[in-house]
Amino acid sequence: MSLPAISIRDLTRTFGGRTILRGITLNVDRGETLVVRGKNGSGKTTLLEILATLLHPSSGTVTVLGHDVVAAGRAVRSAIGYAPSATQSFYPRLNGRQNLELFAAAYGVEPSALRRRVATLLDRIGLAGAARERVERYSDGMRARLSIARALLTDAPVLLLDEPMKSLDAQGRESARELIARCGRGSRTAVWVTHDDAEAQSLATRIATLEDGVLR
Amino acid sequence: MSRALTLMRVFFLRDLAIDMSYKVSIAIEIVDVLIGAAGFFYLS
């Protein structure tokens, strides 16, 4: 039996005196698309940020492809593509293409493949026409699409998507869903966070619900 | 080591691109450098 792509054991996370995640235990198999749904403040983003090594667990263990998120953060980061919920994580004075090229270079994408990879993603996500516009002039929906493209820059085997469709219109949702599905074919694992039930039903191979930091 | 050099190059290019996006500011800086160099040349 193969190792799960993501393994979470008795994960608890507190902020000050407030417990956000309580004793979460969960496995995500390779190739699986797990949708984590829950109301605002239920702990979805905290869970994803721990998987992305942005936060440390207060207790419990979390591994991604066998790498511990605390002890082997660098190995985990090289295995994931992450689209955070905040769309302010770009350089506003740079244009969309420059931003993606910058992140691709920082992620270690080969220089010979970098421009083509960025151009392909911008085209598929519907931002080819706005590639030379500064990100400060982008709408929230355009930034959300750019964030999805950034998560797909490397062929990371694990995708972490935090409400990636939140600001997208119907057409944007469809193209984003198509792009992620196309890039997700094969053995790529995805953890997708949303509070939209219809979105969860249409995307998931499995759905987990977070309520007040407890997995149902 | 090569990873560190790559990151240094990436961050330098990022800062350069951001500086270049402020066109008036970068022009004033270039003029300032030229005036400074010329002044140094004539006074030395």
Q: B14 to chain A, minimum CA–CA distance in Å?
A: 7
* Beta-carbon separation of A134 and B7 below 8 A: no
* Beta-carbon separation of B14 and A134 below 8 A: no
Q: How far is CA A122 from the centre of its chain?
A: 17
List all residues 6 or more positions away from A173 whose beta carbon is below 8 Å from its beta carbon.
A165, A199
* Beta-carbon separation of B3 and A98 below 8 A: no
pTM assigned to the model: 0.86
Q: Which amino acid is at B7?
A: L
Give residue-wise pLDDT tens across range B1-44.
688 888 899 999 999 999 999 999 999 999 999 999 999 999 98
Give residue-wise pLDDT tens across range A32-71.
999 999 888 899 999 999 999 999 999 999 999 999 999 9
Closest partner residue to B6 (CB to CB) among A91, A98, A105 is A105
The ipTM of this complex is 0.73
Q: How far is CA A179 from the centre of its chain?
A: 14
Say how far apart CA A133 and CA A122 lie, in whole Å.
12
Give residue-wise pLDDT tens across range A170-205.
877 887 777 777 765 567 899 999 888 887 888 788
